[in-house]
Amino acid sequence: MSTGTRQIGLSAPWLDEREEELVVEVLRSGRLSLGPWIDRFEEEFAAAVGAPYAAAVSSGTAGLHLLCVVAGVGPGDEVITSPYSFVASANCAIYEGAVPVFADIDPRTLNLDPAAVEAAITPRTKAIVAVDIFGYPSEVDELQAIAARHRLTLIDDSCEALGARYKQRPLGAQGQDAVWAFYPNKQITTGEGGVVTTWSEQTWKLLKSLRNQGRADGGGWLDHARLGFNYRIDDIRAAIGVGQLEKLDRILAGRTEVAARYTELLADVDGLGLPCSDDADHQRSWFVYVIELPEGADRESVIRVLEDRGVGTARYLPCIHLQSYMRERYGFGEGLCPIAEEKSKRTLALPFHARLAAEDQAFVTDTLRHAIG
Ligand SMILES: Cc1ncc(COP(=O)(O)O)c(C=O)c1O
């Protein structure tokens, strides 16, 4: 057993001289917003996920909100989504006055269970926001079929899944509108930022207007065709994104290797649940390494031991419907989504990034074994 403490953070971006060089280039150009780096980032990002159109925005949350606006989500509507996600995938519906409806998850993948989604549909349902949680692709075909059958909009929250593959093609290439995010714990970062990818030219044009205060294509600076937002990304961030895409393959390979090492190191811990493995149709892009503690283990004391030894950890993920503001607004409580609630009590994220050293991983897993007892 390794002893002592180390400082091992939960995540770390991979930035180097290339991003520095690109940022300096933008600064020297004097054009910091609405410049050429945004188009370039969008084109390269669209190519990376196999979608025809991309619109860069200020965050993943902004992208999800805009797709709800495009879908015409409004007061009186319901939007079905996953309780086991980051709050933004539910909040985007609330911003437009709709009510989030939580369908339960599949216990293996932790993504929305398509049967639960279908069972949650009512005459008020307007859209489904699926989430590719922890980078594992959701059941795109089934969800697209359900959406088509009931004339609903499907939005894929792929904020954690850049680089994932579904049925041998990049996630994003299946015809769905999808949102991607670049906070520094993500596969690539722009500091803050996001992209919406779409297969509709009309949606793409609308997104570009909505993110830019509703200005119309070709109109003047003070001509506003619709109610819009300032959800623009700037050229500095877009240039960082270009630098990040250049090393995307290396980042993804590093993350895959680190995940495989955790899986090997933890394979023999009794009762410990490890992230589900890929199958023929689903290939994960590693976002975080989330374990499920053995039944009966006290998660809070495990967290204390890890933290005392400098190992970063997080309770990924609390159920969205059990957050205090959700309970207060909608009266949600325990029992609404039993599978998500059960998973949520026992899951825990370990330090994870593309360049995590093997000896740090050994320290993390030794400490974890000791903490579980
Ligand atoms: C599943 C999911 N959806 C949405 C978001 C929101 O992205 P952002 O933080 O860029 O607004 C995140 C990122 O934290 C996320 O993990």
The answer for 222, left when phi > 0, alpha when psi is -120 to 50, beta otherwise, is alpha
> What pLDDT, on a 0 to 100 scale, did the predictor assign at position 321?
98
| Signed CA dihedral, 92, 161, 279, 274: sign only | negative
Per the DSSP assignment, residues forming a β-bridge with 100 are 79
**Cα–Cα distance, 370 to 353 (Å, whole number):** 23
Q: What is the mean pLDDT of residues 284-306?
A: 97
> Which helix H or strand E contains 179, and what residues bound it?
strand 177-181
162 phi, psi to nearest 5 deg = -60, 125
φ, ψ at 175 (rounded to 5°): 95, -5
Q: Give the H or E element holding residue 363.
A: helix 358-372
**How confident is the model over 148-173, as a mean pLDDT?**
98
Instruction: Report whether 223 contacts 197 (CB < 8 A).
Output: no
Which of 183, 237, 285 should be mutated for ligand 1, with most atoms under 8 A from CB? 183
Instruction: Report percent pLDDT > 70 for the chain.
Output: 99
In short, whether 60's Cβ falls inside 6 Å of ligand 1 is yes
The pLDDT value recorded for residue 3 is: 66
Closest CA to 93 of 323, 322, 326, 318: 326
76: left (phi over 0), alpha (psi -120 to 50) or beta: left
Does 83 have pLDDT greater than 80?
yes
Would you state the structure tokens that stand for residue 83, as one six-digit string? 């309780």
Confidence band for 10, pLDDT divided at 50, 70 and 90: very high
Separation CA 273–CA 176 (nearest Å): 31
Confidence of residue 2 (pLDDT cuts 50, 70, 90): low
Q: Which of 126, 186, 247, 343 is catalytic?
A: 186
Of ligand 1's listed atoms, the one at least distance from the Cα of 63 is 11
Mean pLDDT in residue range 94-101: 98
Kindly tell me if the per-residue pLDDT of 1 is higher than 70.
no
Is 0.85 topped by the overall pTM?
Answer: yes
- The pLDDT of residue 175 is 97
The verdict on the CB of residue 352 being under 6 Å from ligand 1 is no
pLDDT above 90 for 4: no
Ligand 1 pocket: which of 11, 58, 59, 61 to mutate (most atoms within 8 A of CB): 61
Report the pLDDT value the prediction gives residue 219, as an integer from 0 to 100: 81
Work out the number of other CB atoms within 10 angstroms of the CB of residue 227.
Answer: 9
Cβ-based neighbour number of residue 279 at 10 Å: 9
Nearest ligand 1 atom, CA 194? 10
Average pLDDT over residues 186-200: 98
- pLDDT averaged over every residue in the chain: 97
Dist. CA 226–CA 73, nearest whole Å: 16
Count Cβ atoms below 10 Å from residue 28 Cβ, excluding itself: 8
Ligand 1 closest atom vs CA 185:
14
Could you confirm whether 126 is annotated as catalytic?
no
**pLDDT higher than 90, residue 216:** no
What is the tens place of the pLDDT at every residue in 310-347?
Answer: 999 999 999 999 999 999 999 999 999 999 999 999 99
Alpha-carbon 54 to chain mean position:
17
Indicate which atom in ligand 1 lies nearest the CA of residue 160.
Answer: 16
Tokens representing 354? 């593309």
Q: What separation in Å is there between the alpha carbon of 361 and the centre of ligand 1? A: 26
Do the Cβ atoms of 259 and 164 come closer than 8 Å?
A: no
pLDDT digits (tens, 9 = 90+) for 122-153: 999 999 999 999 999 999 999 999 999 999 99
Quickly list DSSP for 11-38: ------HHHHHHHHHHHHHT--SSSHHH
Distance (Å, whole) CA 141 – CA 167? 10
CA distance 348 to 354: 19
Helical (H) or strand (E) element with 298: none
Cis peptide leading into residue 317 (ω within 30°): yes
Confidence at 246, pLDDT banded by 50, 70, 90: very high
CB 63 within 8 A of CB 57: yes
Ligand 1 centroid distance, CA of 231 (Å): 15
Ligand 1 contacts CB of residue 159 (under 6 A): yes
Q: Is the CB of 89 under 6 A from ligand 1?
A: yes
For 189: left if phi > 0, alpha if psi spans -120 to 50, otherwise beta; the answer is beta
